[in-house]
Structure 1
Amino acid sequence: MESNWRKVKLALGLNMCVYSSRNHVADNDDDEDFAPSSERRSDAALLSPPGDWATAPSTPSSNRLRFSKSLSRSSSKKTCSICLASMRRGDGHAIFTAECSHSFHFHCIASNVKHGNQICPVCRAKWKEIPLRGLNLDTRVAKARVNPVDWPQNNGAMTVLRRLPLRHSNSTRHVGPLFQDLEPSLLNDDEALDHEIHYSEKNTSNNRPIYSDVLTKVSIKTYTEVPAAPQSSAFESFTVLVHIKAPCSNSWLNFGKNDASHTPRASVDLVTVLDISGSMAGTKLALLKRAMGFVIQNLGPSDRLAVTAFSSTARRLFPLRRMSETGQQLALQAVNSLVANGGTNIADGLRKGAKIMEDRREKNPVASIILLSDGQDTYTVTNGNGNQNQPNYQLLLPSSLLREESSGFKIPVHTFGFGADHDASSMHSIAEISGGTFSFIETEGVIQDAFAQCIGGLLSVLVKNLQVKIDSVDPRIYLDSLKAGSYPHRVLPNKHTGSIDVGDLYADEERDFLVSINVPAEVSSNETSLLRVMCTYTDPLTNEMVTLEGEEVRIKRTEAVIQENVTIEVERQQNRVQAAEAMAQARTAAENGDLTGAVSMLENCRKALSETASAKSQDKLCVALDVELKEMQERMASRHVYEASGRAYILSGLSSHSWQRATARGDSTDGSSLLQAYQTPSMVEMLTRSQATLLASPSTQRVLRPSWSFAARTKPR
């Protein structure tokens, strides 16, 4: 049997970082070939998936993280400029030497050429002769070499590869190789769904479905602008608030990897599209890997994940696989193989992610794409109509993801703009067009929190394809307008019927829509019937269509002329809409160079809100809006500040308000500066879990938010 020392050397020869007991090597003369673990400890722990912190070495005296000095010795050898791994003749890989004299691994340059690149990556010379891709390339190299030894980032923070502890799994399916050198043209190799763990299990105590503890009906409430109006008065723009709330579930409190199959929620197909351009090198990439580790470990065995990365071109690193224990380990390996280099081709990354979704043989009830980038697309974005200030962002989004009027949203893309150099306008547009949200990650340490909030919602979808329909009851009443943010909405030409396509709702999520109508005068009636509201949606747990009708909206009519105060529920939502409109106008002014005017618009909105009854009563939403508007004013202090963070902060706020869904904004550790009124309990729970794992990390760079109570989040600074 091989000695432990030989096993350690073998692991190091494969360029993998391992933990080895000091006792195993203390008696060996070659122990000097290892660097002290204290030099790498914090970086290693930073990148470790959360599930491994409990088993990771706790002190340098008990276990040590050791690296072979041969890693640094090999840095001077000739490397492939594409994969950045060394090229040695006779190591089993063909080498292509171009007419410009630069050499590359054949399989690397063939993949490059496949994407239409016929220019030398080193000297930019245009080639006349290009390599043709063979069919018998050895694909085992990518499986063995997790991270190229010659990549300069090959340090503790960039090469730690942890494995989930392998337990007995019910799945015996063959998952296939971790990486495929030759990507198929049709990405239909997604792992089959395991229908046995989907929703068929029963509660043995009463033989009811396991999701019986879910309040399975959407609730509809309506509020009129005032509770009563004089009979003799007519109103041209009378407001009715339509409030929709998704079902509640208590089971997400126990949601986790071990009991995910028992969680009453819809399973998810998730594709992550990750920027690994050169600007992501170092701590950024290390923290991205850690955040992805958190995502992987919080997906259940019925959820599926695919990993796509892009720099100058995009590549699918991990096909759509169920997150069983085996699938989680393979996904972690794929994530830990990432290295940063090259340009930023967001469009190619989105195309690859969309193709994975398009080519699926089977589909989970919920599907979404997560896109993270810290730069601007340098390959695809072009200006439209000759206006250099208006690039055509729609070119970044594949047609398969574009919203259609007939079928609503297809697959939402939730985008995350990272740092001061990302293209916030582009990322916001991608999210807006596809029906997703845009989050602004200002500091490196909150990547995991931003992802946690997003998947906390995706893993709690209880309503699919919700549509709200509004009909006037009295033929004298006409619908003037619908205030529905970014949700597709329409009023029919007869103005008696309107509809709003809401799409998916997370557990406990709420939506508020303002309907403007006319109210006629009454001669003798004590009541006027106004509207009838109904909604239809699909229950993803049963795949059944549900139709609900709310109570008829009526308003009392009085003989005496009285002055009624605006209903507080209606005024709160009017304040929200007014604030969102002010943000949009301020952003337009700032983009046109008028920062002073933009700040003035926000200040005027703050003053108007302060005079409302809800503000005077210290309504939490109104207080939070004021805090948010003030933050935006501060981020417009100068052109430099606006370019660095103001634009992204405002756009993430607009995304949040237009979809009425929580987004990460700026440094989300500062809860008092953010409006997070749209957070659901499942989002908060996932954020709490993220914080717990970060607390366990030895990294001291992370500053945690003190509280997630709404009062703490909305306390004025």
Structure 2
Amino acid sequence: MGSKWRKLKVALGLNMCVHVPRDIDDSSPSLNSAARFINSRSPSDASPSGDSSGHGPTTLTPSSSGLRLTKSGSKSPKGTCAICLTTMKAGQGHAIFTAECSHSFHFHCITSNVKHGNQVCPVCRAKWKEVPFESPVCNVSHGMPRINQMPRDNSWTTILRRLPSQAVDSNRQVTSLYNITEPAIFDDDENLDQQTSITHNENEADHSSLDSMEIRTYPEVSAVPKLASHDEFAVLIHLKAPHSGGKQSSVSDNAESSPSAQTSRASIDLVTVLDVSGSMAGTKLALLKRAMGFVIQNLGPSDRLSIIAFSSTARRIFPLHRMTETGRLQALQAVNSLISSGGTNIAEGLRKGAKVFIDRQWKNPVCSIILLSDGQDTYTISSRPNAGTTYPSLLPRSISRNNGVGLQIPVHAFGFGADHDATSMHSISEMSGGTFSFIEAEDVIQDAFAQCIGGLLSVVVQELQVKVECVHPALKLGSVKAGSYRASTMADARMATINVGDLYAEEERDFLVTVNVPIDKSCDEMSLLIVRSLYRDPLTKEMVALEETSKVKIQRPEVAGELVVSLEVDRQRNRLRAAEAMAEARVAAERGDLPTAVFILESCHKALSETVSAQAGDRLIVALSAELKEMQERMADQRVYEQSGRAYVLSGLSSHSSQRATTRGDSTDSTSLVQTYQTPSMVDMVTRSQTMIFGTPQPRRVLRPAKSFPQGQRGQ
């Protein structure tokens, strides 16, 4: 991890940019004959343009705005650039800029700083009268002009070079995006291409041939003696969404794809609510920009994106526009315009993000908010102990899954670093039907976003409802364990409904239902339950009804022999047991009783190891055991718990309660812990993110989603 991080810092420091200028061969004669910069210059040598030749300032084009590592602080070691934190000596091939306040920086580092409108020294905060500029095409490396470059995937470079720079006024500074007038009503969303619905009709025959959603049921045991009753008899309901209609297109495919190429999945309206407070300065903001660049490049022309930036207040810096070639270019410019300053007002950012959805005139089938913050809300919450309970009441009702107004906006929240408010962000995600992820390491932001959009870009089921009904007249439902999904039981306890919502391609859900099996001498076989489901196909907009063809049945012999407990039921019982232990341990930790919290987790770990699933080497139990151990380590003392333990536990609870993959800690790689709920589309997007970091695929283990039911262990 250390080596990877050093490479990333070096790459970011070397003029990393989201936009790539037009193709210019580094070896061309025109470059070889270009004038060289001297190794250092004094304030008197530099004109306001930063050009010693005395020419006027070079006009900055939007494509020259890049992601730079900026580092602000009160002090910096002598001979070290305060921006990229590397040594700064004459003769090393890098131009050095000395400001009016006598502080020095690498020329290419400080020019990236002033591009964003900064005219103050990053070290002493002195106001500058003269600021350096550099050419938007090249900078200096070893005394020679060099094209802004960073090793990257060829397809990524190809796409960026194809973006039509003529679509945007080249004379306009990127920072002017912050100064545009924000409308009172966000009804300026770009209209949806009507060809999309026409293409759906043309491909209706192909779409209808896809697999429908799968329902399987597993009774706890296959038989109960006639003269015996069985309280809390468990039945597992297993759901699996159909596969996506087609493989997700690569970045290079997206650049030339048409609406017809996206008929294999539902298009999305995505709003990103991004923290740009002062604490995001430097590396954090640079990596956030890069991660947003990845998201933008992987959205298709039928998808729409809006960007909200918040600090002390919130501002919509990019309207809800389709990610066509022009749309992607404009979105990248908006991202590059981000600068960090001020406090943290998460609630205002979410209000504005929800307003984009409320005011829009057009609607894509899928909608979602991605929220990222690294700090505490310093404007909305005045009392930290009550933050987790009072925060949701301050947010727009349109975000809540139970608001009753027909609009649910899942918020996928990403808590970044050690100082974010994990309790509040977890509450936001939980009440909206989203997920909460904990990003511990800075270089995981892009992978975390990739995993999230890998799911969002593969929605195949919407508004899913599962109905469970008792068949035998003497049967009544006991409990319905559905995690964070809302379950309601009829007054007579004969029927229950579970509202599941959206499912990603090949995503699975497991629900445990219990019934009380009575004594029954009259039959040799008893029908217990029947399971039905109803959902909306996001492509055809039609409701699809699916009923399990066979009822849940058990045998009622006179005498039952040795009964084998269903491995599938045991596995899900263990998952629920582990989640309950995590929740109980968190309660103990929050009241400062860490020894009790650790004891709860250790006891659960021991109990899991003695189960049928563990003895069979079940992968889910192995993952749960590893997670429980990790949580124990993060509850070693109060300081560790405050810095990472709380967020780690909450991201785990979010994952298990929603049965959906979240980022936990500093990794989204191929560990069994992270893969518990990953889908193939998530795996594909994370792999794409990881192989784009330095241009060539890194040696990694193959990512495969963990299956709830290993081959050969499925029920029939």
Judge same fold: TM > 0.5, yes or no: yes
- In 2 relative to 1, CA 67–277 (structure 1 residues): closer, same or farther, beyond 3 Å? farther
Once the two structures are superposed, residues 630-668 of structure 1 have per-residue CA deviations (whole angstroms, 9 ceiling, x without a partner) of: 111111111111111111111000000000000011011
Alignment match, 2:301: 301
Aligned to 2:557: 558
Secondary structure of the equivalent of 1:251? coil
- Paired AA for residue 461 in structure 2: V
Q: Distance in 2 between matches of 1:487 and 1:221?
A: 19
Q: 2:162 aligns to what SS in structure 1?
A: coil
- Does residue 166 of the first structure (1) align with residue 162 of the second (2)? yes
Alignment partners' CA distance in 1, 2:394 and 2:102: 37
Q: How does 1:27-106 map to 2 (within 5 A)?
A: 31-32=37-38, 85=118
Q: Quick check: 500-509 or 228-237, which moved more?
A: 228-237
In structure 2, what is the equivalent of residue 588 of structure 1?
A: 587
Quick one: distance in 1 between partners of 2:245 and 2:687?
Answer: 16
Distance 1:572 1:409, change over 3 A: farther
Alignment of 1:135-174 (within 5 A): 164-166=160-162
Give the counterpart of 2:479 among 478, 481, 484. Answer: 481
Counterpart position of 1:285: 285
C-alpha displacement of 1:31? 4.5
Residue in structure 2 matched with residue 252 of structure 1 by the alignment: 247
The CA distance in 2 between the partners of 1:650 and 1:380, in whole Å, is 24
Shift of 1:218: 1.2
**Residues 471 and 416 from structure 1, CA distance in 2 versus in 1: closer, same or farther, beyond 3 angstroms?**
same
Residues 164 and 326 in structure 2, CA contact (< 8 A), matched pair in contact too: no
Seen in structure 2, the aligned counterparts of structure 1 residues 202 and 168 have a Cα distance that, compared at 3 Å, is farther
1:409 and 1:469 mapped to 2: Cα distance?
Answer: 22
2:458 aligned to which of 457, 460, 466: 460
Letter in 1 for 2:552: V
Task: Calculate the TM-score normalised by the size of structure 1.
Answer: 0.76
- Residue aligning to 2:567: 568
| Residue 391 to residue 229, structure 1, CA distance change in 2 (3 Å) | closer
Distance 2:646 2:230 in 1: 39
**Pair 196,557 (structure 1): closer, same or farther in 2 beyond 3 Å:** same
Q: Is the 8 A contact 2:669 2:703 kept in 1?
A: no
Deviation at 1:704, TM superposition (A): 7.6
Counterpart of 2:666, as a letter, is: D
Taking the aligned partners of 2:231 and 2:428, their CA distance within structure 1 comes to: 37
Note the C-alpha offset of 1:426: 1.0
Letter in 2 for 1:515: V
- Which residue pairs with 1:403 in the alignment? 401
Native 8 Å contact 1:663 1:676 kept in 2: no
Matched residue, 1:314: 314
> Per-residue deviation at 1:565?
2.2
Letter of the structure 1 residue corresponding to residue 602 of structure 2: E
Q: Is the 8 A contact 2:65 2:336 kept in 1?
A: no
* 1:408 and 1:501 in contact (8 A); partners too: no
1:383–1:391: 8 Å Cα contact kept in structure 2? no
Q: Which residue of 1 aligns with 2:327?
A: 327
- How far 1:30 moved relative to its partner? 7.7
Instruction: Give deviations 1:683-714, integer Å, cap 9, x for gaps.
Output: 0011111111014179xxxx98534246899x
Q: Quick one: which amino acid aligns to residue 518 of structure 1?
A: N
Deviations 1:560-595 (A, max 9, x none): 143412111111100100000000000100001111
Question: Which position in structure 1 is the counterpart of 2:656?
Answer: 657
The answer on whether the counterparts of 1:538 and 1:545 sit within 8 Å (CA) in structure 2 is yes
Alpha-carbon distance change, 472 to 520 in structure 1, aligned in 2, over 3 angstroms: same
Say whether the 8 Å CA contact 1:157–1:286 is kept in structure 2. Answer: no
> Counterparts of 1:74 and 1:475 in 2: how far apart (Å)?
87
Alpha-carbon displacement from aligned partner over 1:573-624 (angstroms, at most 9, x marks no partner): 0010000000000010000111111111011111111111110010111111
Contact 1:227 1:556 in 2 (8 A): yes
Partner of 2:89: none
2:529 aligned residue = 531
| Structure 1 position 342 matched with structure 2 position 337 | no
For 2:102 and 2:520, locate their aligned partners in 1 and report how far apart those are by CA, in whole Å: 87
Q: Is the alpha carbon distance of 1:355 and 1:697 closer, same or farther for their aligned partners in structure 2, counting shifts above 3 Å? A: farther
Is the Cα–Cα contact under 8 Å of residues 207 and 245 in structure 2 kept in the other structure?
Answer: no
Q: How far apart are the structure 1 equivalents of 2:608 and 2:672? A: 18
Give the distance between the partners of 1:75 and 1:535, measured in 2 at CA: 71
CA distance in 2, matches of 1:587, 1:431: 18
Once the two structures are TM-superposed, the CA of residue 676 in structure 1 deviates from its matched residue by 2.1
Aligned amino acid, residue 652 of structure 1: S
Letter in 1 for 2:306: A
Name the amino acid aligned to 2:233: F
Looking at structure 2, the residues matched to 512 and 208 of structure 1 have their Cα atoms a distance apart, in angstroms, of 30
For 2:491, which of 483, 490, 493 is the aligned residue? 493
Compute the displacement of 1:70 (Å).
8.2
After superposition, the C-alpha distances for 1:507-537 in whole angstroms (9 at most, x for unaligned) are: 1011000001111111130111111111111
Single out whichever of 400-409 and 227-236 deviates more from structure 2: 400-409
Aligned mates of 1:320, 1:353 — CA distance in 2: 10
Task: Confirm or deny that 1:230 pairs with 2:225.
Answer: yes
Aligned partner of 1:442 among 431, 440, 449: 440
Q: Alignment partner for residue 243 of structure 1, among 234, 238, 241?
A: 238
Map 1:582-661 onto structure 2 (within 5 A). 582-661=581-660
Distance 1:622 1:615 in 2: 6
* Matching residue of 2:274: 274
2:220 counterpart letter in structure 1: E
Query: Quick one: distance in 1 between partners of 2:455 and 2:180?
Result: 34
**Residues 673 and 179 of structure 1: is their aligned pair in 2 closer, same or farther, counting only changes over 3 Å?**
same
Counterpart residue number, 1:153: none
Give the letter for the 1:582 counterpart.
A
String of CA shifts for 1:144-176, please: whole Å, max 9, x gaps: xx9xxxxxxxxx999xxx99333689x99xxx9
Is the 8 Å Cα contact of residues 409 and 503 (structure 1) preserved in structure 2? no
Question: For the residues of structure 2 that align with 1:245 and 1:17, how far apart are their CA atoms?
Answer: 42
Q: Where in structure 2 are there 5+ consecutive unaligned residues? A: 1-14, 39-49, 53-63, 70-92, 104-113, 121-126, 128-135, 137-147, 151-156, 169-173, 709-716
8 Å contact from structure 1 (residues 467, 499) kept in 2: yes
- Taking only aligned residues, the RMSD between alpha carbons, in angstroms, comes to 3.8
Are 2:465 and 2:497, in contact at CA under 8 Å, matched by a contact in 1? yes
Query: What SS does the aligned partner of 1:694 have?
Result: coil
CA offset at residue 674 of structure 1? Answer: 2.6
Contact in 2 for aligned 1:201/1:210 (Cα 8 Å): no
Taking structure 2 as the reference length, the TM-score comes to 0.76
Task: Give the residue type in structure 2 aligned to 1:620.
Answer: R
Structure-2 residue corresponding to 1:8: none
**Structure 1's 409 and 666: CA in aligned 2 closer, same or farther, altered over 3 A?**
farther
Q: CA offsets, 1:264-285, max 9 Å, x none?
A: 1100000000001111111111
Q: 1:363 to 1:704 in 2, by over 3 A?
A: farther
| Cα pair distance change 1:297/1:670, threshold 3 Å | closer
**Shift in CA distance, 260/563, structure 1 to aligned 2, threshold 3 Å:** farther
Answer yes or no: is the 8 Å Cα contact 1:192–1:362 preserved in 2.
yes
SS at match of 2:430: helix
CA contact (8 A) 1:222 1:241 kept: yes
Which of 411, 414, 433 is 1:413 aligned to? 411
Q: Which runs of 5+ in 1 are unaligned?
A: 1-11, 36-42, 49-65, 88-102, 104-145, 147-155
For residues 270 and 337 of structure 1, do their structure 2 counterparts lie closer, same or farther at Cα, with a shift above 3 Å needed? same
Paired residue type of 2:635: M
1:75–1:190 distance in 2 versus 1, CA, 3 Å: farther
* Further displaced range: 582-591 or 248-257: 248-257
What amino acid does structure 2 have at the position aligned with 1:577?
A: L
Distance 2:102 2:303 in 1: 40
Q: Greater shift after overlay, 394-403 or 355-364?
A: 394-403
SS in 1 for 2:160: coil
